[in-house]
Structure 1
């Protein structure tokens, strides 16, 4: 059993927890990894994980180096007028990919999930449980519609930022919002 309290010496505990979490999520997927298991792998008490990260979701976000926490963004996205949800989602998504500091981690995640089955499983479980199910439930639509939103947006950024297909790569955000938001809105309209 791990000792309670602060470790002696330099405090690298947070980084050790994140490293253990990455390993546990990669080996067991989002669903299979547990706070207790991650704590044991890091050699700390589970309460310390809650102290640093709060929840398993927040630990996953930190371990995957997400520039934003999707769990924090969902309430803001869902709070506005329902008829403008598609536009809010597309604007947020394009905005996150527009900034170099947030684009790089997303590109790394995108590349890892397309080339590694463990990473794909982990991301699939997280997206399904934590993001897509919540969006579908809040809008009263079948889960396949929320998944279609994700496919639309991932396809857009893949062609725009990875493959760099013109004119998508050269279009300004407003043009893309006008083009894609109505499609996203149609998926989320019961």
Structure 2
């Protein structure tokens, strides 16, 4: 029962952050949505920031699971890159409350060392995953391209969170994949000596 209650509190925190658009939610609000008492919420987590950090770990864990699932189902560097991009825009990850939580975790990271550490781990893993499969395709340009693609992903999340457009998860994914295709083609056109002319057959989605 305890893991179930913890999970309920974490999900409740994500939903409450999504509804308010900020971290200005109370433990009482989170506990009420989770169907437990405020005292029990404090018992499990110790305080509001710890609940937020628990929600952040949950979100990162869900994202990591999507990446692993996607990579396990494809072969070839180009297909693996598409799988990494796709993981960030699944309905599980690209829903309003989760995106709002992501943005507010960035705010929390300005004052919380633990939040900053968690976000840094996410950013490093994303770029590392991209670089791993970009390098055989574009050589020395891999790190620069990975940084730009990661920035585009963050930007699409920001636009969606601010509700400035009605971009769906499929549309957002398509934008990143198109940018990735353009980047790879441009890098290969420069005939970088480190870039091997790798020809791969891409599988359909």
TM-score (norm. length: structure 1):
0.48
TM-score (norm. length: structure 2):
0.45
